[in-house]
Amino acid sequence: MSGDARLREIYERSVAALRQVVTDMKITEDELHLAGHYFNRLGQSGMCPSLLDVAFAMTSIDASRQDFGGTRPNLEGPYYLPDAPLRADGVLFEKAPAPDAPILTLTGSVVDAETGKPIPGAELDLWHADENGIYDREGPFLRGRIHADQNGRYLLRTVVPNDYSEHDTDPIGELFRAMGQGNTRAAHIHVKIHVDGAEQLMTQLFIPHSRVLDTDYVVGAVSDDLLLKLEDAPPVAGQGPQYTAKFDFVVRRHAARQAAE
């Protein structure tokens, strides 16, 4: 019988690992059926990919990264929208934010991991929640693409995002409540970096004001190297508190992606 050898090995190793859990925890048949009914509800809700991301995405990303070096990648999440507007001035809001919304000016460079040299014209595609933890899921508010200059430098001006919960009414939230686990993601900014039209980095930058940096429900997502260091900045009339931060993206171009260009 022919078949996918890799798939078969993944299945067999996964079943073997779970059998050990069943043995160690003395899981009953009733508990197995309870889990089965839960996975039925999970599948009907369409949330299976999200639960796999919660539990395994960062393990997969880190394992795939291996010796690539550079800025640590992170998961994309469910709210990416392609074709975000180009923000020539680096400002992610075309309408005025709420007057009390904290504002962040983020600067830095995009550099090559192998040479340490700047990558002129690198494109940063960014999106994030607002100061209340709400994403604009249809429009361009707090979404946009900016280009690094000829020295690889970029400037971003945007609202400081807040923590948010997104599984309050679905089976993932049901599981979290049953385990007594929190249902909140630490505030972050999503960043994709394209070089010569090819995506070379997907990551997230975390906000130190977050109250759940240590309990973000995506296992392994938060790390110190992705944590911004916010500093107070002079006030701006009509806007909320002002902050600045710096972050340099170190991009290693992946051979597989280079070949596909």
pLDDT digits (tens, 9 = 90+) for 12-68: 999 999 999 999 999 999 999 999 999 999 999 999 999 999 999 999 999 887 666
Q: Give the tens place of pLDDT for each residue, 76-126.
A: 999 999 999 999 999 999 888 999 999 999 999 999 999 999 999 999 999
pTM of the model: 0.92
153: nearest Cα among 42, 31, 12, 248 = 248
Residue 15 Rama label (left phi>0; alpha psi -120 to 50; beta): alpha
Give CA–CA dist 184/105, Å, rounded: 25
Q: Tokens representing 157?
A: 């001006």
In this predicted structure, what is the pLDDT of residue 95?
85
Identify whether the C-beta of residue 245 lies closer than 8 Å to the C-beta of residue 229: yes
Residue 184 vs residues 59, 109, 164, 207, 220: alpha-carbon distances, Å = 20, 30, 5, 14, 14
Task: List the helix and strand counts (H, then E) for the chain.
Answer: 6, 9
Q: Give the tens place of pLDDT for each residue, 154-196.
A: 999 999 999 999 899 999 999 999 999 999 999 999 999 999 9
Q: What are phi and psi of 167, to 5 degrees?
A: -125, 35
